[in-house]
Amino acid sequence: MTKENVFISGASRGIGKDIALLFANNGYKVIGTSRSDFSIDDNLDNFIPLKLDITSRNDIKDCFDYLKSENLLPNILINNAGITADQIFMRMKDEDWDNVIETNLTGTFNLSKIFIKNMIKNKSGRIINISSVSGLMGNPGQVNYASSKAALTGFTKSLAKEVGSRNITVNSVAPGYIDTDMTSFLDNDAKEKIINNIPLGRIGVTSDISELVMFLASDEASYITGQTISVDGGLLMY
């Protein structure tokens, strides 16, 4: 696959930022989005930061029209944006369920739906969804988050079967505990308990995820599709 355009949602920090930097530093044209204005590196002239609410289909349509006018429609889509609103189920507010599902699952649908048409036309493309080990094994206090991420497995498999004949692969990466803002609230005791359950004995770093995403976007991964790959240090083993 030629090094063309990569679109990454949730690129302002954490895993998304690391993915964006890796692709940009390897010669790809990268369009990264966040709900608020941001910048990841002012020295990168091949990175375009865009403010975008992926739950708004009108905003996504405007973004699509802009990228099309600039010849920047992506042949690699990385659905990374996600939020949490953790709470035990009996105390979970309706809006906490709705917001998490709308961002993590419906946002993935919205972006995939609008960009896949151009991939089908070109008979080439990669869609990589960033899921979570929580969606594979469950997690107390994360019924909403785990549900949204579990749904991405079915989304990935079904879409992969639909578009495989067009030379488009669809895969999912399920990070375990990664050292990002999402895990920064954990105190040392909580981290130690988690590490004790991880065979490799450490919490992951963002590059553990971004390097796999880079591989799945490459020609070397052209025969891999419909898969959900856990990157969790062995926390979850089937």
Evaluated on CA atoms 16, 150, 231, 142, the torsion sign reads positive
Element (H, E) at 185: none
Which of the following is catalytic: 145, 177, 223, 238? 145
Provide the edge-to-edge strand list for the sheet that holds 168-175. Answer: 47-51, 29-34, 5-8, 76-79, 125-130, 168-175, 228-231
- CB-based contact 13:32 (threshold 8 Å): no
Is 145 considered catalytic here? yes
The pairing of beta strand 47-51 with beta strand 76-79: unpaired
Query: What are the DSSP calls for 191-235, one per residue?
Result: HHHHHHT-TT-S-B-HHHHHHHHHHHTSGGGTT--S-EEEESTTS
Give the H or E element holding residue 139.
Answer: none
The answer to whether 45 touches 24, Cβ cutoff 8 Å, is no
How many CA within 13 A on the CB side of residue 180?
Answer: 21
Q: Which residues pair with 228 in a beta bridge?
A: 172
Q: Is 126 helix (H, G, I), strand (E, B) or coil?
A: strand
Q: Which amino acid is at 90?
A: M
> Between the CA of residue 202 and those of 131, 136, 198, 231, what are the distances in Å?
20, 20, 7, 12
Instruction: Please give the positions annotated as active site.
Output: 145
